[in-house]
């Protein structure tokens, strides 16, 4: 099952989302930061209790951004364009509108195209 995570392009925003992962609902907390100098988003993922699971993960398209963290059992995640785009990855204003964060099961496969 694939789920679009409801992201708003607001730097330093923290929010929670209940996500179906591997036949279980998991609540994860997300914190988004935008690196203005480099021009990309970073995401910290925490468990329900607020403990860091992954810190400062680059939010960039092209592959499963959680692939190297499969052992954590928190699924797979892809940054995909919602429409035809001219930019290579989400800008300060386009994450959550032009670019989606799509979450799936640990063996979610490639949804990027």
**Is residue 109 in some structural domain?**
no
Mean pLDDT confidence for 3-27: 93
Residue 110 is assigned to a structural domain of this protein: no
Please tell me the predicted confidence (pLDDT) of residue 110.
Answer: 47
pLDDT tens digits, 88-113: 999 999 999 999 999 999 886 545 44
Answer yes or no: is 113 within a domain: no
Number of separate domains in the chain: 1
Q: Is the pTM of this model over 0.85?
A: yes
The pLDDT score that the predictor gives to residue 74 is: 95
Q: For residue 74, tell me if it sits in a domain.
A: yes
Q: Which domain holds residue 40?
A: 3-104
What residues form DSSP beta bridges with 90? none
Identify whether 8 is part of a domain. yes
Contact 48, 69 (CB under 8 A): no
Q: Where are the beta strands (DSSP E) in the chain?
A: 3-5, 13-21, 24-35, 40-46, 52-59, 76-81, 99-104
Q: Specify the residue for token string 């923290």.
A: 14
């Amino acid at each position: 099952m694939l789920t679009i995570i409801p992201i708003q392009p607001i730097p330093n925003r923290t929010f929670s989302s209940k996500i179906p992962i591997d036949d279980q609902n998991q609540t994860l907390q997300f914190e988004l930061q935008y690196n203005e100098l480099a021009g990309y988003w970073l995401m910290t993922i925490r468990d329900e209790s607020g403990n860091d699971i992954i810190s400062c993960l680059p939010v960039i398209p092209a592959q499963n951004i959680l692939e190297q963290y499969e052992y954590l059992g928190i699924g797979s995640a892809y940054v995909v364009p919602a429409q035809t785009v001219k930019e290579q990855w989400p800008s300060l204003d386009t994450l959550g509108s032009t670019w989606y964060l799509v979450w799936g099961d640990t063996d979610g496969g490639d949804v990027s195209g």
